[in-house]
Amino acid sequence: MADITEVEYIWKNGEMIPWAEATTHILSHSLHYGSGVFEGIRCYQNPENGKSHVFRLRDHMERLHRSCKIACIELPYTVDELCDATLELIRKNNLPSCYIRPLVYRGYGVMGVDPTGSPTDVAIAVWPWESYLGADALENGVAVGVSSWRQRSNNAIPPAVKSTASYMNSILAKLEAKEHGYAEAIMLNEAGLVCEGTGENLFIVRDGVLSTPPLSDGLLEGITRDTVLCLADDLEIPAIEESLTRSDLYIADEVFMTGSAAELTPIGSVDGREIGKPGEVTRALQDRYFAVAYGQIDDYADWLAEV
């Protein structure tokens, strides 16, 4: 996984500020209690015409607003304002492609579990970031393991909130996976059903049918997940949402995970059970996904925000 590459500017609370000045107080509420929400977005440059586009920018900012609503955080910027700020920030940093991290968090002024009265800080950072698990992962797939850590339940931390607090068990699962020699972890929910990766949604293919767990099983409403379901429909690949067991992963013909960071990464093995090289369905969806994200298919122009 790549380290962060510094750029010149970060957008914070309506202003462009130098990267090194994008700081927050050590007693900020969200640092102590995880009371923040965020997004992960990508900007791609079309290799054919050199134009850069942010992929599904508005959808991400709308989800950020939904996360704030569920978390009872007042977000003082509209979706349009956040979209405009993102595009301006990319231009100001002169980045042809990049990863984008909007963050809304409770700042300095109140301590204790009750956040009432703490200010809301809003920041957007951008930086160059290649494939989350590496270029080889996109091509050949990765080995994953089912974690002993369970995903949080619907009534513990709402999975519809992409919150900073939600990722503690993802961190524990990721570290456990690395210790066991896996690139990534898969978490089950409290009922023992397949939920998601540490930061990705999951898909399997069996007998030509694409399957993914339903949102009711406790997973994040992934925007890349939605993208893949739309692309599958366009490619006439049968796709269903259904609960999956650990055994379903072992006997699948193909398995892959999706997310703005992971994009569409094939899985080559689960708990040492070989799945194999990326299959026909995975390859078709992966090729289509990148063609859409790079702005090479006009039918999906509504998903792209030109920089």
> What single-letter amino acid sits at 224?
T
Instruction: Return the sign of the alpha-carbon dihedral for residues 147, 149, 153, 157.
Output: negative
**Could you tell me the mean pLDDT of each successive run of 10 residues in the chain, 307 residues long?**
86 98 97 97 95 98 98 97 98 97 97 96 95 80 96 90 95 97 97 96 98 96 98 98 98 97 95 95 97 95 96
All CATH 3.20.10.10 domain ranges in the chain, comma separated: 135-293
In 3D space, the residue among 194, 199, 144 whose CA is nearest the CA of residue 170 turns out to be 199
Q: Which fold has domain 9-127?
A: D-amino Acid Aminotransferase; Chain A, domain 1 (3.30.470)
pLDDT at 2: 63
Q: How far is residue 41's CA from residue 14's CA, in Å, rounded to a whole number?
A: 19
pLDDT at 266: 96
Q: How far is residue 105's CA from residue 190's CA, in Å, rounded to a whole number?
A: 28
pLDDT at 133: 75
pLDDT at 134: 74
pLDDT at 234: 96
SS3 86: helix
SS3 278: coil
Instruction: Tell me whether strands 41-45 and 15-18 are parallel, antiparallel or unpaired.
Output: unpaired
pLDDT at 130: 81
The CB-side HSE value for 272 (13 A sphere, CA atoms) comes to: 2
All CATH 3.30.470.10 domain ranges in the chain, comma separated: 9-127
Catalytic machinery residues: 162
pLDDT at 131: 73
What dotted CATH number matches 135-293?
3.20.10.10
Output the DSSP codes for 68-118: HHHTT----S-HHHHHHHHHHHHHHTT-SSEEEEEEEEE-TT--SS--TTP
Q: What's the chain's Rg over C-alpha atoms?
A: 19
Instruction: Kindly state the tokens that stand for 106.
Output: 């409770």
